Amino acid sequence: MTALKSNNRTKIDFGKVNEPAGANLPPSLTADNLFEFNLSMLDRFDPEKILYSIKEASEILNLSDDFVGARVRNGKIQATKLGDRHMINKLTLAQIMTKGV
């Protein structure tokens, strides 16, 4: 941080401004590359996990449980029903992260 004098006013230079999330991604990123990137992020998060509950998926997607649950029930998000629980596949979750619902 440095102070600069200009027109009898002090301007403060804070240096490098923080870049927005994803700013370090290459500009030529295609949908396939983004899908692979999202899938690799999920693998790094929990490499052994294949299926995610609605609650886990909503936390990853930063959406409410109600929103994700409603999209599962109306068929917009593909899920597998195990007993009374709906489980979302890792590939489906990466696709949602890439293309949206």
Per-residue pLDDT of the chain (101 residues; tens, 9 = 90+): 555 666 677 766 666 656 555 556 666 677 778 889 999 999 998 899 999 999 999 999 999 999 999 999 999 999 999 999 999 999 999 999 999 88
pLDDT at 15: 64
- The domain ranges of the chain are 48-101
pLDDT at 101: 83
- Residue 99, SS3 per DSSP: helix
Q: What span, in angstroms and rounded, lies between the C-alpha atoms of 87 and 67?
A: 15
pLDDT at 97: 92
End-to-end CA distance of the chain: 43
pLDDT at 7: 67
Counting Cα atoms < 13 Å in the Cβ hemisphere of 39 gives 12
| CATH level 3 topology of 48-101 | Arc Repressor Mutant, subunit A (1.10.10)
Q: How does DSSP assign 31-95, residue by residue?
A: HHHHHHHHHHHHHHH-TT--EEEHHHHHHHHT--HHHHHHHHHTTSS--EEETTEEEEEHHHHHH
pLDDT at 2: 57
pLDDT at 44: 92
Q: In what order do the strands lie in the sheet with 80-82?
A: 51-53, 85-89, 80-82
